[in-house]
Amino acid sequence: MYEESASGQADGPPTQRKGRPRSTTADDAILDAARSLLADGGWAGLTMGDVAARAGVAKTTLYRRWHSKHDLAIAAVAEMLGTLDLPDQGPDLRADIEDVVRRFAALLGRPEMRTALMGLVADSTSDPALRRRIREEVVNPQKRLVVEGRTRAKARGEIATPDDIDVDLIFDVIAGTVVQHILVSAEPASDTWVQHFTTFVVTGMLPHPTQPTPEPPARPPLEAK
Amino acid sequence: MYEESASGQADGPPTQRKGRPRSTTADDAILDAARSLLADGGWAGLTMGDVAARAGVAKTTLYRRWHSKHDLAIAAVAEMLGTLDLPDQGPDLRADIEDVVRRFAALLGRPEMRTALMGLVADSTSDPALRRRIREEVVNPQKRLVVEGRTRAKARGEIATPDDIDVDLIFDVIAGTVVQHILVSAEPASDTWVQHFTTFVVTGMLPHPTQPTPEPPARPPLEAK
DNA sequence: CGCGATTCGCTACGGCTCGTAGCGTAAGGG
DNA sequence: CCCTTACGCTACGAGCCGTAGCGAATCGCG
C-alpha cells in the first residue's frame, strides 16, 4: 500500500521515516515530461511509457507516486495553477472582472493546460469521483477569484449586499465562456474580445431591469419592412 | 476507396449504383448501440468491438461506414440534434433566449450526448481537423438559434440594428456556461437556474452602460445604502 | 559500520483497444 | 445469370494501461 505523499499535494509532516527517500528531482522531471508531452501530442499523447522515457525514469517510478494517468495529469496541471489572488487593489469591479477573464484566457492559452483539462473533464463525465476531484483540486480554487472580487466590490460600495452577485453563476459564465471561445470556437482571446466580454459580464450583473417575463410586452407588433 | 455516404450526412443522390446495397437497419442499429454504450460507460465505454456486438454486426461493417471512432461518434450525436428552430413566434427576446438555454440544457442532460460531446472536444484540442468538423457539423448548426432570435428581435423592434447583438459572443456565453454548469459544476439546470441565467444574459445585452474603463472611476454606477 | 527499509531501473506480462487484411458467403442490379 | 458490392468471421500488428518480480542502490538508525 503505497501513497502517502501521492495524490498531488497533501504532504505536511516529513512523510518519510526510513529507507531510501524518493527523488525529488524525479518528481519534477516527471511532471515536466508530462506537460511537455501534453503540449506536443495532446491528451492521447500523454502515455505513461513516454512520460517515463522523457523523464529518464522507469515506468514503475510513476506508479509509485500516482495511481493512474488521471492522478498524474491532475498533479501536472495543479502545479501550474500557482497562487492566485487578484492584483492588489484594483480600481473598480470592472477591472477585477477583466483581470479574472484574462487569467482564464492565459491559462487556457497553454496547450498542455487545455489538453489536460479537457481530457480530464471528458473522462470525468462518466466518473463522479474524478469529477469531484477535479472540481475541488482544480476548479474551485479558481472560484476564489470571483469571491475576492465580490468582497472588494462591497468594500468599495459598488454593490449593496453580497447577494447582488451570484458567485457560482458568474464563475460558470466566465469559465465556461472562455473555454467555449478558445477550445470550441478556436479563436484566441484577443484584447478586444476580453474587453467586449467583460462589458457583457459587468452589464449582466446590473440590477435586473428585465424581470422574468413580467407580462406581454406592450410593444408595437411589427411595422418594419 | 470506400466512403461516399460516410462522413455522416452528405448523401443526396442514390449513392449506390450496383452490387448489394448497404443495410439501413444496420445503420440504425449501430448508431443506437453507440449511443447506448456512451450512456452506459461514457467515452471510454464506446469501443468499436462492443458497438458491433451490441448492434449484432461485424466490426468490419462499422469501418465500412465510418473511418474511425471519431466519425462514428460524430454521426451518433449529429443524428440527435434534429431539426432546430425556435417555437413559432415567441412573445419577446427574453422568451427566445430562455428557450435556447433550455434547449442546450436538455441536450446536455442526455448522458450519451455529453459524454460524446466532451470526448470529441477533448480529442479535438490537439486535432485541428477534428475540431473543425465538430464546429461545422455539430456546433454551428446550433448557432442558428441565436441568429434566428436576433432576427426576430429586430422584427419586433426590440433592437435597432443587428449589430446590437454579437451572435458569436452570445452563443459562446450560452453554450459555454451551460456546459460548465452541468458538466463541471455537476448541477442540473433547474428552472430557477435557467431563469436566473437568462436574466443575466438579457441584461448583459442591454446597451453598454459601463464603458470599457473610460477613466478613473467617477462614481460607483450603482449603489444602495 | 552494518542492517533493515524503501526506492529505483529493468524486463516481462495480461488484458484491452484500434484499425486492417483475407476469405467465403449473401444479396442486390443490368 | 453474372458482376458487383456488402456482410460475417477470424486473425493479426501495434499500442497502451497497470502489475509483478528481480537485483541494485540509497537512506536512517543502532
CB pairs A-B closer than 8 Å: 219
Measure, in angstroms, how far nucleotide D24 C1' is from residue A45 CA.
32
B145 with B86: CB under 8 angstroms? yes
Range among A82-96, B101-115, B144-158 rated most confident: B101-115
CA A142 to chain centre: 6
* Of A25 and A161, the one with more pLDDT: A25
Q: How confident is the model at residue A221 (pLDDT cuts 50, 70, 90)?
A: very low
Tell me: pLDDT of B2 over 70.
no
- B156 interaction partners in chain A (CB closer than 8 Å): 219, 221-222
How far is the C-alpha of A122 from the C-alpha of A138, rounded, in Å?
15
CA B56 to chain centre: 29
Residue B88 grid coordinates: 413559432
Tell me: pLDDT of A206 over 50.
yes
Query: What is the identity of the amino acid at B132?
Result: R
Nearest of A80, A105, A86, A97 to residue A177 by alpha carbon: A105
User: Counting every residue, how long is chain A?
Assistant: 225
Q: How confident is the model at residue B15 (pLDDT cuts 50, 70, 90)?
A: low
Residue to mutate among A166, A198, A200, A208, with most B CBs inside 10 A, is A200
A16-24 long-range contacts (CB < 8 A, ≥24 apart) are: A22/A64, A22/A65
For position A208, what pLDDT does the model report? 65
Question: By 3-state DSSP, what share of chain B in percent is helix, strand and coil, each rounded to 5?
Answer: 65, 0, 35
How far is the C-alpha of B66 from the C-alpha of B218, rounded, in Å?
61
Choice among B48-62, B126-140, B157-171 with the minimum mean pLDDT = B157-171
Cβ contact, residue pair A125, B43, below 8 Å: yes
Tell me: pLDDT of B215 over 90.
no
How far is the C-alpha of B55 from the C-alpha of B73, rounded, in Å?
15
For position B68, what pLDDT does the model report? 97
Residue with cell string 449586499: A161
For position B107, what pLDDT does the model report? 92
Over residues A30-46, the mean pLDDT reads 97
Nearest of A182, A3, A195 to residue B176 by alpha carbon: A182
Q: How confident is the model at residue A161 (pLDDT cuts 50, 70, 90)?
A: confident
Exposure string of A108-122, with b = 16+ CB inside 10 Å and e = fewer, is bebbbbbbbbbbbbb
Please name the residues in contact with B10: beta carbons below 8 A apart, sequence gap of 6 or more.
Answer: none
Residue A125 grid coordinates: 463525465
Nearest of B125, B127, B112 to residue B72 by alpha carbon: B112
Residue B58 grid coordinates: 461485424
The whole-angstrom distance between B29's CA and the closest CA on chain A is 23
Q: How confident is the model at residue B3 (pLDDT cuts 50, 70, 90)?
A: very low
For position B26, what pLDDT does the model report? 96
Provide the 10 A C-beta neighbour count for residue B38.
28
For position A132, what pLDDT does the model report? 96
Average pLDDT across chain A, whole number: 86
Q: How confident is the model at residue B223 (pLDDT cuts 50, 70, 90)?
A: very low
- pTM for this model (two decimals): 0.87
Please name the residues in contact with B147: beta carbons below 8 A apart, sequence gap of 6 or more.
Answer: B167
Average pLDDT across chain B, whole number: 86
How far is the C-alpha of B91 from the C-alpha of B79, rounded, in Å?
30
Query: What is the identity of the amino acid at A221?
Result: P
Tell me: pLDDT of B80 over 70.
yes
Residue B155 grid coordinates: 422584427
Task: State the DSSP H helix or E strand holding residue A207, giving kind and residue range, or none if neither.
Answer: none
Over residues B141-164, the mean pLDDT reads 87
Over residues B5-26, the mean pLDDT reads 66
Measure, in angstroms, how far nucleotide D1 C1' is from residue B15 CA.
25
Choice among A68-82, A173-187, B211-225 with the minimum mean pLDDT = B211-225
Tell me: pLDDT of A200 over 80.
yes
User: Counting every residue, how long is chain B?
Assistant: 225
How far is the C-alpha of B55 from the C-alpha of A137, rounded, in Å?
40
Q: Per residue in A114-148, pLDDT tens?
A: 999 999 999 999 999 999 999 999 999 999 999 99
Provide the 10 A C-beta neighbour count for residue A85.
9
Scanning every strand, the nucleotide with its C1' closest to B53's CA turns out to be D8
* Torsion over CA: A142, A147, A150, A154 (sign): negative
How far is the C-alpha of A138 from the C-alpha of A145, rounded, in Å?
13
For position B7, what pLDDT does the model report? 45
Measure, in angstroms, how far nucleotide D19 C1' is from residue B76 CA.
36
H helix and E strand count, chain A: 10, 0
Region of residue B190 (phi > 0: left; psi between -120 and 50: alpha; otherwise: beta): beta
For position A68, what pLDDT does the model report? 97
Tell me: pLDDT of B156 over 50.
yes
How far is the C-alpha of B8 from the C-alpha of B134, rounded, in Å?
12
For position B82, what pLDDT does the model report? 74
Tell me: pLDDT of B209 over 70.
no
For position A62, what pLDDT does the model report? 98
Nearest by CB: B213 against A45, A95, A139:
A95
B75-79 long-range contacts (CB < 8 A, ≥24 apart) are: B75/B8, B75/B9, B75/B31, B76/B31, B76/B34, B76/B35, B76/B38, B76/B112, B76/B116, B77/B112, B77/B113, B77/B116, B77/B117, B77/B120, B77/B138, B78/B8, B78/B9, B78/B137, B78/B138, B79/B31
**Percent of chain B topping pLDDT 90:** 68
Q: Per residue in A54-107, pLDDT tens?
A: 999 999 999 999 999 999 999 999 998 876 677 766 789 999 999 999 999 999
- B223 interaction partners in chain A (CB closer than 8 Å): 157-160
How far is the C-alpha of A113 from the C-alpha of A179, rounded, in Å?
11
Over residues B171-182, the mean pLDDT reads 98
For position B16, what pLDDT does the model report? 60
Choice among B107-111, B129-133, B154-158 with the minimum mean pLDDT = B154-158
> Does nucleic acid strand C have an atom less than 7 angstroms from the CB of A192?
no
